[in-house]
Amino acid sequence: MSTHGSDQTSDVATIPGGHTRELRAGSASIEVTPSATNATLQLRNTGNRLVGATSGDLALLQGSTQLRRHYIDLDSFVPNTQITVRIPFEGTPAHGTYHLRGTLRPAGSKPVHVNEEISFDESAARELRRETGRAAKGGGVPAVLAAVVGAAMLLAIVTLAALLRRQRRLATNPATARRDVHSGEG
């Protein structure tokens, strides 16, 4: 307020920019608590206006396999605030990379497309064990299965080599091959 003699006038400040409603998705991560394991997504109203109801859905995927589809239904969202959306894991998470994908539709604002990668690594597995007493599922091929497949491949190679050696012997000396058959060799 400025005072000039007995005349009082008001100074009006104009702030550049208009009124905005804008919802933004932040980072996604894994949250482990004693009672649940969740994929989480940070949402923030970065505008200066109230965002009305927000709906949409998020899919939690591992590779191309959809593990969970989670529907979002939020009430109004106050400016300059942030919330964490939790998408529960069903069962025990496995080591590896997950994706959180979907679209949120805030009232009066543009849609928010989510495509976040989440890593469930060794530190997350330790946290899961510490918080819940459960071990994370192993990622990839189990060691026992890999050993069985390796042994089967080795056996197949040895068998193929023996058959090729016998075939070569038959082709080069048919008389020796007949004698080997009658004597029980080969």
Count of domains forming the chain: 2
The CATH number that applies at residue 70 is 2.60.40.10
The answer on 148 and 102 residing in a single domain is no
pLDDT per position as a tens digit, 51-102: 888 999 999 998 899 989 999 998 888 888 899 999 988 877 878 889 999 9
Residues 94 and 172 in one domain: no
Residue 178: inside a domain: yes
Residue 138 in domain = no
Question: With 60 as the cut, is the pLDDT of residue 169 above it?
Answer: yes
> Is 55 domain-assigned?
yes
How far is 79 from 109, CA to CA, in rounded Å?
13
Residue 6 has pLDDT above 50, yes or no: no
* 37 SS3 class: strand
pTM for the full predicted model: 0.59
Domain limits for position 83: 23-132
Tell whether 111 and 35 lie within a shared domain: yes
The reply to whether 106 and 66 lie within a common domain is yes
Summary mean pLDDT of the chain: 79
- With respect to residue 87, please indicate whether it lies within any of the assigned structural domains: yes
